[in-house]
Chain A
C-alpha cells in the first residue's frame, strides 16, 4: 500500500495466520486443519481482546482461499436486530395459509436472530470449490436460551456450513453445544512474542522502546495486542523516546475519571444518576462487569476513607462480584452494588 495508514492497529493488523503474534500451538493446529481440508465445528474460548476473532477470520481466509468473500460470514450474537430485520423476522414467522405444503398456516418459532442472521447463510449452498462455508459467531454466550436453536442448526446444516463460535465465558454455553465442538483454549500472548512484535513496530516507527517499557506495556494491556498498540501510538505522540513514565501517563487517559465519578455520585446517595453513569461506562468502554468492579475497587483504595468504611465497601464489591459470576444480568448486579453504596453513604 502506498499511502500511510494513520491508525497503527490497522496498519499492523496481521495479513495472514503466520503474522499473528504468538499462539504458536493454536496456529500449528489450525494449519494442520487447513492441510486436511476438514474440521468439525470449533469453539474458541479466551478472555476478551486477545485475538480470537482475528485468529478465526484469518484462519477462514486461508482455509477458503479465493472464495473467502462468498463463503465466510461473521455475526455478532449481541448485536440487536435493526428495525428492518425485526420486521422481516415477524413477517417470516407466520407461513400464510395460502401456501402449499404441510407448513402452511404454521408459526415458526425459531428465534429472530437465527432466523435472520444465521439460517439464510447456513442454508445457502456453498459456492465454488470450497468444502463448506464458515460462519463465525462472536460473543456466543450472549445468545442465552437461543443457543438451543443452534443445536439443530449445527446438525442439519453442519455438512454445508461449519461454525466457529467465539466466547469469553464457557460457563454460559450449554453442554449440547460444547459437545458438538472442538474446543480451542486461547491464551494471552507470551511476553517473548509480544516483545518481538512491539520492538518490530518500534523499529518501523523509529521509536526508542526499552525492554522495561515493553514489560510495562505487557502488564498494562494484559497481553491484549490491540490495546498495547493503541497505547504505544498514543505515547508516541509526545516524542520518539518512550519510557515508563510516558506509558503510565497515557494509560491513565484510557482509564478516565468516570469510575471515580461513579463512586462519588453513588456515595452522595443519588441512585438513579449513578446507575445511569454505570451503564454509560459499561456500554461505552466495553468493560465486562468484573472489570468494572475491579476499577471501582481501585478507586476505593485511592479515596480517603476510614479503615472500617473501606473494608465494608470492599466486602460489598466482593459480594456483588460473586453474584455477578453466576448471575445473568450484570445491570442488576451493578445496580445492587450502587444501591448499597447509596445507603452506605448515610453512615460515612
Chain B
C-alpha cells in the first residue's frame, strides 16, 4: 500500500481469511458454538440441499410436462432454516468481516445489500431477486464463483414504506439459490417472524486482550509509537468491544495530532448507533405532504417524547431562511406547549395536534430552501431540558479536592459555585491564592479558576 492512499484502516486490516481473524464467540439459543465451523457447515449443507432440491425439481418439471394441470406437483423449496442464518450482535465486532472472510476462504462472491439503503419492497426485490432466483446462462457454461448474499442491518428495516420488508426477506429466503447471511444489531420484536424461521447466532464482543492484540499489530504495522499504552486502553474501554470503533479511533488519533491532551480527545470521540433516527429525521424533511409526514411518525418506533427534540436540534440544518424558521418554530413551540398541557392535564386527545404540528407543520415549513442534496449531517440533541451536563477532567479533579473539605455535588459545583469562584478569583489575586492554598490546587486547576 502506498503511503499516499488514504484507506480507512478498517478496510485495510479487514481479515482476508477466517484463519487469520480473531473470531468472536457465538451462541445459539444459549449454547456456545464455534462460529467459523458452523458457518462453513451451513454453506456446505446449503449447496448439498440445493443440489438435491434442484434435482427433485427437475424431475417434477419433467413430470409436470406430461400430466394435466390438475395432477401437477408443487415444486420443492429449500428449507428456510438451511437457507439463511442471522448473526446478531453489537456493532463493529466483526460480523461483516466474518462473512467476507468466509466467502474468501470458500472462493465465493459476496453480494451485499444494506437494508437501510434499500428499504422498499420493490428495491429490495429488484436488487436481490435477480441474483437469488435466476442464475445467468453464463453461469452454467463458465465455472463462475458461487455467490453468498449478505443482508446487513436487517434491524435497520423499519416500518415506513417497507412494511413488507420482513415478508419480502422471508420470501427471498424461501426462493433463494444462494446461501443468505443476515446481520443485525439488536433483538427486535418486529423481526420475530424472521427469528422463528432461521437460526440466530448471538455474536459476542471480542475479549479485551484480543482487541488489544489487534490494536498492537496495527500500531506496529503503521509504525506508530507515540500512542501511550494507557491511552490505548482508554480507547478500547470506551469502545466497549467495538473493534471497528477502536481501529477508527486509533486511525483518527494517530493521523491527527498526538501531542496535547490525547485523553480529552479520546473522551470526545463518540459514535452513534442511532442510524434509524438519523434516517427518519432526514426523511422527515423531505416530505411533501402532511400525510407523508404523518406516515413517517406513525410507523416509526422512535419515541415521540424524544423525536421532537431531534426535530428541534436539526431544524437549522434543513431549513435555512429566517422566515421559514419562524414558521417552523411557531409550529414546534405550539406543539411543545400542547404536549406540556397533555402531560399536565392528561388530555391525550390533543396528541394528534402535537404530531401534526411537530412533524408535518415543521417539515412543510420548508418552502424556499431547496431540497437538501447529498448527505446531511443529523446531530444528536445536545441540549435537552435539565439533562444537559458535562464535566471535563480537570473540573472533576477540582470537585474532588473540594469534596475533601466541603461536600458538594459535581452539578452543583459547575452550575452554582464555579461561576462565582471565577468572578471572585478574577477580581483579586489574593482571593485566588487563598482558595488555591486552601484546596492545595496545582497549576492546571488554578487555571480553571482564572
Contact = CB atoms under 8 A, between A and B. Distances in A.
Given A327-B337, A328-B343, A284 B385 contact: no
Interface in B402-450: 405-406, 409-411, 415-417, 419-421, 423-424, 427-428, 431, 434-435, 437-438
B386 interface: yes
- DSSP majority for the B interface? helix
Given A80-B387, A343-B325, A234 B427 contact: yes
Given A5-B438, A285-B419, A76 B388 contact: no
A332 B305 contact: no
Interface string B218-260: 0000000000000000000010100000000000000000000
A320 interface: yes
Interface stretch (B100-108, B116-124, B271-279, B327-335): B327-335
Contacts of A60: none
B322 interface: yes
Contacts of A80: 387, 389
A248 to B, nearest CB: 15
A333 interface: yes
A98 to B, nearest CB: 7
Contacts of A343: 322-323, 325-326
A79 B421 CA distance: 22
Given A6-B434, A327-B337, A336 B332 contact: yes
A272 B427 contact: no
Given A331-B309, A332-B329, A333-B336, 6 more contacts: A4-B434, A234-B424, A283-B415, A327-B333, A339-B328, A342-B322
10 contacts: A7-B424, A9-B417, A10-B406, A76-B409, A80-B389, A139-B386, A237-B428, A269-B322, A327-B339, A332-B312
Contacts of B385: 142, 328-331
Closest 7 CB pairs of A and B: A142-B386, A6-B434, A336-B333, A336-B329, A78-B386, A286-B415, A327-B336
B51 interface: no
Given A74-B409, A139-B386, A271-B322, A286 B416 contact: yes
A274 to B, nearest CB: 11
B426 to A, nearest CB: 9
Contacts of B316: 271-272, 275
A279 B385 CA distance: 10
B308 interface: yes
B332 to A, nearest CB: 6
Interface string B326-365: 1011101110110111011000000000000000000000
Given A271-B316, A328-B339, A340 B334 contact: no
B63 interface: no
B240 A87 contact: yes
Contacts of A320: 333
A286 B414 CA distance: 9
B383 interface: yes
B420 A328 contact: no
Interface in B352-395: 382-389
A328 B309 CA distance: 10
Contacts of B421: 7
Contact of B423 (A7, A142, A254, A272): A254
Given A76-B411, A234-B427, A327-B340, A332 B420 contact: no
B333 A6 contact: no
B136 interface: no
Nearest to B421: A7
Given A271-B316, A323-B337, A339-B322, A97 B384 contact: no
A258 to B, nearest CB: 11
A326 B337 contact: yes
A39 interface: no
Given A171-B344, A234-B423, A329 B384 contact: yes
Contacts of A87: 240
A329 B332 CA distance: 10
Contacts of A9: 417, 420
Contact of B344 (A74, A326, A333, A336): A326
Given A271-B322, A279-B383, A335 B312 contact: yes
Contacts of B330: 336
A204 interface: no
A3 interface: yes
Given A331-B312, A332-B332, A343-B322, A142 B387 contact: yes
Interface of A: 3-7, 9-10, 13, 74, 76-80, 83, 87, 97-98, 139, 142, 144-145, 171-172, 226, 230, 233-234, 237, 253-254, 269, 271-272, 275, 279, 282-286, 320, 323, 326-333, 335-336, 339-340, 342-343, 346
Contacts of B312: 329, 331-332, 335
Contacts of B406: 5, 10, 13
A339 B325 contact: yes
A328 B86 CA distance: 41
A164 B416 CA distance: 22
Contacts of B435: 6-7
Given A6-B431, A328-B339, A253 B423 contact: yes
Contacts of B424: 7, 230, 233-234, 237
A329 B336 contact: yes
Contacts of B30: 97-98
A7 B439 CA distance: 11
A79 B405 CA distance: 23
Contacts of B405: 5, 10
Nearest to B312: A332
A340 B333 CA distance: 12
Contacts of A13: 406
Contacts of A172: 343-344
Contacts of A145: 305, 343
A340 B388 contact: no
A74 B411 CA distance: 12
A23 B30 CA distance: 61
Contacts of B344: 171-172, 326
A342 B329 CA distance: 12
A87 B241 CA distance: 12
A78 B332 contact: no
Contacts of A74: 409
A269 B322 CA distance: 7
B226 to A, nearest CB: 26
A342 B333 CA distance: 16
Contacts of B427: 234, 237, 253
A7 to B, nearest CB: 7
A139 B389 CA distance: 14
Interface in B263-282: none
Nearest to A285: B419
Contact of B322 (A7, A83, A335, A346): A346
Contacts of B431: 6, 237
Given A76-B411, A142-B385, A333 B438 contact: no
